[in-house]
């Protein structure tokens, strides 16, 4: 379930309040603001992401780490292809010889 936040008008005695609800959909969140809090007007209804308010979360850091590892592997293949290709060919020949026997 996602968390939704909105600025709601709760009447002249309470005025505008910043409220949060848990819902599966945007429309479900709107219904909850109206039903639970008695909101007469709902402004700026949006889904709130859990965690920090910074632009990069811990999940993004893991993705960047994997991307960096893949790029580093490609760099190693390009830089040391003069060693990798002959060793791979020799290994393939040995594998074929043993497989045919």
* pLDDT for the residue numbered 53: 52
* pLDDT for the residue numbered 51: 57
* pLDDT for the residue numbered 24: 92
* pLDDT for the residue numbered 26: 92
* pLDDT for the residue numbered 1: 84
Task: Please provide the DSSP assignment of the chain as one string.
Answer: -EEEEEEEE--TTT-EEEEEEEESSHHHHHHHHHHHH--SEEEEEEEE-SS-SSS--HHHHHHHHHHHHHHHHHHHHHHTHHHHHHHHHHHHHHHHHHHH-
Q: What is the mean pLDDT of each run of 10 residues along the chain (101 residues)?
A: 92 91 93 93 89 54 87 92 92 93 83
């Amino acid at each position: 379930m996602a968390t939704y936040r909105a600025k709601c008008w709760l009447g002249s005695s309470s005025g505008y309040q910043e409220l949060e609800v848990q819902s599966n959909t945007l429309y479900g969140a709107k219904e909850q603001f109206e039903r639970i809090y008695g909101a007469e007007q709902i402004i700026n209804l949006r889904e709130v992401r859990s965690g920090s308010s910074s632009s990069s979360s811990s999940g993004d850091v893991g993705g960047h780490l994997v991307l960096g590892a893949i790029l580093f592997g490609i760099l190693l293949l390009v830089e040391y292809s003069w060693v990798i290709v002959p060793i791979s060919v020799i290994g393939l020949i040995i594998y074929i010889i043993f497989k045919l026997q």
